[in-house]
A = this chain, B = another copy of it.
Amino acid sequence: MQKLIEQALAGNQRAIARLITRVENSEEMAETAVSALYPHTGRAHIVGITGSPGSGKSTLVNELAKALRKRDQLVGIVAVDPSSPFTGGALLGDRVRMRDLSGDKGIFIRSMASRGSLGGLARATSAVIKVLDAAGYDTILVETVGAGQAEVDIASTAHTTLVIEAPGMGDDIQSIKAGILEIADILVVNKADHPGASRTVRSLKTMLQLGQGMSVRHHGRLMHVRAVSPNGNEGAWKVPVQETVAVKGEGIEALLDTVLAHKAHLQATGEWLEREKVRSRQEMEQLLQARLMARLEMKVPAEEQMALITAVAERKIDPYTAVSQLFTLISSH
């Protein structure tokens, strides 16, 4: 393991791939690897990319990766699909992507899929990003599918979040998407050569204007992101709406310029460190809760847990009293 970590730090792609597999498969390995790699992390620009299926998100991510390569950056791509039970390189999109980007040693691609729990997936994704960060990748593109809480959580760990829309999808489902728009640093209307693109751009701009008056959102965690801005509205980032046609490579360079402008903005305003703090807090809360559950498994046998759950379900004991009993058992030495 120690040797694998050293090779990964030196940028050896095979070692990185093997280390990531271990990190994905075991929380213990993740702990060992992250502890060792952590001092070497913090340099990479983490860019979250989310959007509905059909928005052309994957093509856009590929084009961004190629554009970053032209600027001599090392690029990591982490594709997260919480709804897929498949793992590793088995995703279809990943194979297409592999063909498109293969042969470039400056790009490392990894697909992450569900291991049965969203919490587990979020922890594994976070560990994989750290491996790539420590291994020297300059930009890490984290692509998520869909519009659920998982996407919000994963996107909120990025420095810069892109939300991708496509024409003709926006109008019915705006209220569903309100939560997703809230996390965007940059809005992208892809397929901008399709009919209705300008209407989608207009409607997104209207939503952004409406949203400016409402800074309080329901995601407790995201409120921190908004709240920690050290300079209030002074010099605040104004979310732009940009148009691309990813399949033709149009608008990609301009989009990349905006992504890098956002990075510069974060660094100039001190918000980069503030976002790192938000991320650290979230990660520590997750680890703390995972540790609590692990301690529960260790201290209270499964049958005993089940007996207590059944007693609560049958109204023989109330949940608060049951949890007090569990907490005492967990806290004991």
Contact = CB atoms under 8 A, between A and B. Distances in A.
B281 A309 contact: yes
A232 interface: no
B216 A322 contact: no
A83 B218 contact: yes
A321 B277 contact: no
Contacts of A169: 172-173
Contact of A34 (B38, B176, B280, B318): B318
A198 interface: no
A119 B279 CA distance: 19
Contact of A218 (B85, B280, B318): B85
B146 A52 contact: no
Interface residues of A, number: 71
Summarize A's interface: helix, strand, loop or mixed. helix
A323 B84 CA distance: 30
Contacts of A323: 284, 287-288, 291
Contact of A277 (B83, B310, B315, B333): B310
A176 B147 contact: yes
A83 B179 contact: yes
B309 A277 contact: yes
A175 B83 CA distance: 10
Nearest to A150: B149
> Which 6 pairs from chain A and chain B are nearest by CB?
A149-B149, A38-B318, A117-B220, A276-B313, A280-B312, A114-B218
Interface of A: 31, 34-35, 38-39, 41-42, 52-54, 82-85, 114, 116-120, 146-150, 168-169, 172-173, 175-176, 178-179, 216, 218-220, 223, 273, 276-277, 279-281, 283-285, 287-289, 291-293, 296, 308-310, 312-315, 318-323, 326-327, 331, 333
12 contacts: A38-B319, A54-B172, A118-B149, A118-B220, A173-B176, A277-B309, A279-B313, A280-B319, A281-B309, A284-B308, A284-B319, A287-B323
